[in-house]
Homo-oligomer: A and B are copies of this chain.
Amino acid sequence: MKQPASNKRPQPARASEPKQRRTGKDAARRSVCPIACTLDVLGDKWTLLVVRDLFAGKSHYHEFASSPERIASNILADRLERLVTAGLVETSSSSQRVGSSAYALTARGTSLFPLLAAIRDWGLANIAGTQARVQVPSPKA
């Protein structure tokens, strides 16, 4: 126990602070930085792959699940739920099944295209062996 005898900051300990751990779905925003805030939503290895698949025209659970990266089923369900919560994806209940069946990007989700394109372009230019597949869904094919 070394106590340098000064420099103590005993932290008054307000009794009603829940000791916020910065993790979990309800984690507080880390800062006001737009990069940090975007990463709070999209910053992991799977979310943007689901978005990529949505841009590629996929809409069903098993289509996402059968992408070459083989996302685990529980992770996929979690990411879809988060994307819906974040307002980037909506479940079109066209066939109104029990579980949600068809997913689609919202307008806000579609606005991710430049971001996704920048990531794709960087990968193509900087990682050997990568191949482009996703195309811009041409407005008037």
Contacts and interface: CB of A to CB of B under 8 A. Distances in A.
A119 B38 contact: yes
Nearest to A88: B126
Contacts of A114: 118, 121-122
Interface string A78-114: 0000000000000000000000000000001001101
Contacts of A127: 34, 37-38, 41
B32 A131 contact: yes
A25 interface: no
A125 B121 CA distance: 21
B34 A124 contact: yes
Protomer copies: 2
A136 B64 CA distance: 37
Given A39-B48, A118-B115, A69 B131 contact: no
For chain A, which range describes its interface: under 10, 10 to 19, 20 to 34, or 35 or more residues? 35 or more
Nearest to A23: B45
A131 B34 CA distance: 6
A129 B3 CA distance: 41
10 contacts: A31-B67, A33-B49, A34-B122, A34-B124, A34-B132, A35-B120, A36-B49, A39-B119, A44-B44, A115-B118
